[in-house]
Amino acid sequence: YGRISAFPDGVAYPTSLEEVQNLIAKANQIDCRLIPYGGGTSVVGHINPQKSEAPIVTVDMRRMNRMLKFSETDYLATFEAGVRGPEIEAHLNHLGFTLGHYPQSFEFSTLGGWIATRSSGQQSYFYGRIEDLFCGGRLETAGGSLNLPIFPASAAGPDLGEMILGSEGRFGIITCATVQIRRIPKVEKFYGVFFKSWESGLTAVRKAAQSGLNFSMMRLSDPIETRATILLSGQKKFITASEKILPKLGYGDNYCLLIFGITGERQSARQTYREAMHIFKGRGVLPTMESIGKAWKKERFLAPYLRNSLWDLGVCVDTLETAVPWSKIQSLTNALKSTITDAAEKFGESILVFSHLSHVYRDGASIYVTFLFRRTADPDELLERWKRIKKSASRTIIEHGGTISHQHGVGVDHAPYLHFEKGKIGMQIIESVQKSLDPNNLFNPCKLIQSGWSTEDVE
């Protein structure tokens, strides 16, 4: 709509540690606010300036993108925090290594942004989430530098690195980080299989996740998302198969698509595939189609680009996500879809809602929900409708014992709900750390922790 309520007074592009330190010193001197900026891919308001009497400067870190150190012996690499996903892989692949962290924002997001938001890559089942890969680094705070040394393991008190993970720029600016790397795997393949129902697919995915097999990912789409995935692929053979072949094989309207990946050495990959198919076939699955997996891999970073195209067509799209134990997956998935549909019906609109499991663990999985609804002529009306949907869905997540965010982070949108998850004492701990490192609130104000958060229903 062309309406921007607040924007930064300036943008800084530091190219070195010294320039970051000078920025912080100047901000302290003139009472200026600093917002660390990575790739600008946040969907929950991490980098959005809030209205402020003090001047605001966005600190764009993308010119600090060098690889500082590489150790083939230790399987470690150190990068400046502004390095983007493709740049990391270009540095490492040339040396025969990979980080393997592939969030959907991979093309633009940065290492520092991943750490600050506790990012999760699409193949985290094999490579690990960013907290599994992050080994140490450097944080520039209002009071000086916090250095996190590199150890294979340590029992020397609380892990300060865990404090930096998910700090969302409130504690300072991450300037460099050391991460665990691995050699490029010999095999990395993706397959697609169809289950006759969401329930059968859900059971199969849980069994597979708890089997200890060497998957790199499993993504189970519900019937609506399955249909959308097939149509958006533009592949005539997939569309034909879904419309003509699947019905002949006894697949009704509720079939679901599972995309799964296998990564590793050739022998272990073959063994994983055989055992996976044994589990899946026991739940009535069709034989695997590697062509579907290849198509998914080719297009896996393209979905966000549909937002602008849909907007031009008069349709809004948004997403939300959470994670719960396996025993709560079915009930929360159903509740979320119903909640979003009911919220839209209250203002006389129909809404398209679909979901998938995007990350699986032995004890549970993440639920990723996408919803599409009509764009209104009045921006205030549209914003109010979105707020109703978001609030209703967020309350449903809290009531069902889900995390307010599995991968998108807190930012502004989720800050009102963080205290339900952390509790009163937990919130006080986070606030005390923030005040200790940034007593004058120079860094990214109003994100992660909102002033005046309520303790109502915390415990």
CB atoms within 10 A of CB 399: 12
pLDDT of residue 455: 53
pLDDT of residue 458: 43
CB contact at 8 A, 133 and 74:
no
* Under-70 pLDDT residues of the chain: 234, 287, 452-459
DSSP for residue 267? H
Q: pLDDT tens across 113-147, in order?
A: 999 999 999 999 999 999 999 999 999 999 999 99
Q: Which helix (H) or strand (E) holds 213?
A: none
The whole-angstrom separation of Cα 309 and Cα 375 is: 13
pLDDT of residue 376: 95
Which residue(s) pair with 221 in the sheet? 356
173: left (phi over 0), alpha (psi -120 to 50) or beta: beta
Q: How far is CA 418 from CA 89, 256, 284, 395, 412, in A?
A: 33, 33, 41, 11, 10
Strand order in the sheet with 134-141: 67-71, 76-80, 173-180, 134-141, 144-148
pLDDT of residue 225: 95
